[in-house]
Structures are given as structure tokens and as C-alpha cells.
Homo-oligomer: A and B are copies of this chain.
Amino acid sequence: MTKQDYHMSPEQFREQGKKLIDWIADYYEQVENYPVLSQVSPGDIRKNLPANAPGQGESFDAMMRDVDQFILPGITHWQSPNFFAYFQSNTSGPSILGELLSAGLGVQGMLWATSPACTELESHVMDWLVDMMGLPQQFKTTNQGGGVIQDTASNALMTALLCAREMKTNFETNKLGGCPKIVAYVSSQTHSSVEKGIKIVGIGQRNLRVIDVDEHLAMIPEKMEQQIKKDLDEGYIPFFACATIGTTSSNAVDPVRAIGEICRRYDIWLHVDAAMSGSAAVCPEYRNYFDGLELAKSYAFNPHKWLFTNFDCDCFYVKDKAVLIKTLSILPEYLKNEATEKGAVIDYRDWHVQLGRRFRALKLWFVIRYYGVEGLQYHISEHIRLAQEFAGWVDQSPDFELLNQPPFNLVCFRHKSDDAFNKKLMDTLNKSGKLFLTHTVLNGQFWLRMSIGQTQTKRHHVENAWRLIQETAEMK
């Protein structure tokens, strides 16, 4: 290895890069054999690492030996076919290679001018998705709206909150600070990122109204309208509502159209969050759950959850890009350039908090092209079919009960004993390393969550999981 200038030589890069490609291919071939949930204790990883950075460079082989020996035991294998926890976060070959290409090119896409392809491919792929998924045409960049890749649904939601805040306050909060008495509406099942976002943007938790849900855990629009009227009577100003298609806890679907019509009536910004389940719209047979989406001012879903695309990749759409840009744009002198000044281009820097951005559209483009719409439809509908099959087994079991018929790929279920038993069942299963599933609390009860959507998960993994769950419950 030549170290004369310390850089990795092109020859070294070729050699080590190819070894790493093989390492990753081997990893996917073996991942099923690792304990899904890492079995280490706090501090176990750090204690194996030297206290100080090396003064002199080390070989790449030495690093990869440490990856095998010290890092792998501390990995919870999200890409295992036996990973059923939280939400899926499925990757794929074309996506991993898209990330590699993006890292290799190493461009900054903050302005159109800083790499036109980075911006234009992103707009293009975001527009593709609108048609592929039957989303409202208003979201296309070629129309009044537009799409941008953000890092997470949390940031997308915060961006929506900001747009709504500025729209309602005539863009004066940006200037003057201190929001008037503006209030936002969510359900008890909305993702916690709304609570986090409402704190960050200076509106305050007390101005977040949490609306009741029905027996399907979906927001009750009438309750929202009652609350709006009450708020108006008390001098509050309703400005934002979030409806969810596929909540995190239970995949509940809020009635978007009914909520949207109320929002229209009271001039409230409707954001629709489909971070987990939005990928289902690639299949026409699930688009009924997205009814009313044209009433949304903004929308987000995460290909990095359930569309075989590496984290981070959240697709955020707005109905009116002028509002978004007016809310977030800042143009210091050193970023001024001809293309921007002519207004002929999109500068994505004005579409989110960050200035810098990497070329994330590549991986999404690769995934869509490699699978084709038909390949993506096949896998999404297969995951949902497997979830429904699993739900059927639970339903037929004398010992277990089902929360509800799952609309998508998440099954909430529990053993017909108490919470403590279910928690112990979950912990025992997870400690076995043979599968990993997590829980939630709904209506005061502890429910197990089985999220079926990893790239390599096949029917026999789901069958094995069900067998293991039953056996473990019997042993206790």
C-alpha cells in the first residue's frame, strides 16, 4: 500500500472496493443467521476500541477485520428477513449501488448550478412518482407544486408546519417571531414528530390539539371540527392539521377527505403523513386509502421505509412551491448566480432547513428503473398479502387476538393474557435472536407489532415467526 501521500491509491480503491462489494453480498447471504436484535450490553462496543485515534494510518484490511470482530456483534440486523420490528427499512442492490455512485461523485446539490443533474433528476423522479402512484397532479414540479427529497418525515412535517405558520401569519412570524395564538390538530395516533416540530418552530405544545380516534384508531373528523369551533370561540387561530395514512403504532388510516374538507372550510393547512404506508399507493388496489389527498397542501412518504431505497429518502410534496420557497429562502451573496437570478431553475436549498444536500435522486431512480413499476407493485402487494395471511393465523388461534384487519403490512396482535405476559413473550422472542418484533400501547393495552416488509422476507420467514411465537407462548 502506497502511503507516500496518505491517500488511498486508485489501485487500492479498486481492490478494497471489490472486496467490500463481496463482503456486502456475503452479508446479505448470511444475514439470516445472525441474531436479529444485537445481544450486546451498553459499553460492549466502545470497550474494544482504542482510547485514541491512531497517529499513523492503518490498512483497510485492518479496519475490515475490526468491522467483523467489533462492529458486527453490535448491529441490529434491519436487513434480516426476520426483522419485523418498528417499521421496515428495506434496501436493495440498485439502491446500495445508487448510494455508492452518489458518494463517488461527491457533488453538492444546494443550487441548480452546483450540479444541474442533481436537481433535475430529483424533480423528474419526484414527478414520475406522482404518476406511478396516482398522486394528485398538483404535486408535480411542472405544475404549481413540487416535490423534493428530504431526509426524514420529521423534517418534512416541520417544513409543512413552517409553511402553514407563515401562510397564516402573512409571513410575519419569520420577521417578528412570537406566534399569535395559532393552533394545530392531530390525532392521538399521529407521529410524535408533530409534537417535536411544534416545539421547534416556536408554537408550543399547549397549542397542539389532540383529537380522539374511533374504534379503528382513525381521527374522528367531527371531533376535530368541534375543537376548531371551540378554539375559534376562545380566540385561537386554527392553522394546521396532520392526517395520517398508516399510523406508526397500528397503521390506522385517517379519513383524509373528511378532514380535508374541514380544513378547506376553516382555511387550515392540511399535511398528510404517509411515511410508513405511502408506498402502497404504487398498487392501484390500495389507492382508496388515499382518497381526498388533493385536499392536502403537503404530503410526505418515505421510500426509505418501504420502497427498497436506502435511508435517507423522504419524498415531500407541496401544492404551491412559491409558499415553500418564500418561507425558507435566504440568498447570501456568495451563492448568487445567473441561473438562480433568471428564475429558470429550482434551487433545492430553499426547500428545506439544510443548505448542503447530496445526490439522493440517483438511488431512487435506480430503484424505480431496476424494478419497474410492475416489480415494485409485486413486492408491495406481496408484503400486504403476507401480513393478511399472518393476521388470519392470529385470528384463528384460540390463544391470540388481533387488533383489527390490517389495511397494509403491519399486524397488531396480542396473547389473550395480560400485558406482563405479552411483554415477557416479546422479550423472550427478541433475546432468542431468531426474530425481532416490537410493541405499542393502544387503548391502554400492550400490543405486539409485526411489520412485514423487509426485502428478503418470504412466506417461510413469516410462518417460522408465527410458529416461534406460539411455541414461546406455550413454554411460559
Contacts and interface: CB of A to CB of B under 8 A. Distances in A.
A311 B106 contact: yes
A434 interface: no
A231 interface: no
Contact of A24 (B5, B101, B177, B355): B101
- Name which of A73, A118, A379 has the most chain B CB atoms within 10 A of its CB: A118
Given A375-B6, A378-B6, A52 B131 contact: yes
Given A46-B123, A97-B60, A13 B6 contact: no
B373 A108 contact: no
Interface string A1-44: 00101111110111011101111110111000000011010111
Contacts of A230: none
A12 to B, nearest CB: 7
A97 to B, nearest CB: 5
Contact of A71 (B20, B117, B174, B180): B117
A120 B14 contact: no
For the residues of A in contact with B, the DSSP-based class is helix
A67 interface: yes
Contacts of A165: 202
A79 interface: yes
B17 A334 contact: no
A41 to B, nearest CB: 8
Contacts of A439: 333-334
A137 interface: no
A325 interface: no
A455 interface: yes
Interface stretch (A86-94, A394-402, A460-468): A86-94
A99 B99 contact: yes
B20 A101 contact: yes
A177 B23 CA distance: 50
Given A154-B354, A196-B353, A334 B96 contact: no
Contact of A8 (B94, B104, B195): B94
B373 A55 contact: yes
A52 to B, nearest CB: 6
Nearest to A440: B334
Interface in A74-109: 74-79, 86, 89-97, 99-101, 103-108
26 contacts: A6-B370, A14-B21, A17-B96, A20-B104, A21-B21, A21-B100, A23-B104, A46-B124, A55-B374, A57-B370, A58-B369, A63-B365, A73-B117, A74-B117, A76-B107, A86-B114, A96-B106, A106-B311, A173-B199, A173-B204, A174-B205, A177-B198, A177-B202, A177-B206, A248-B334, A333-B439
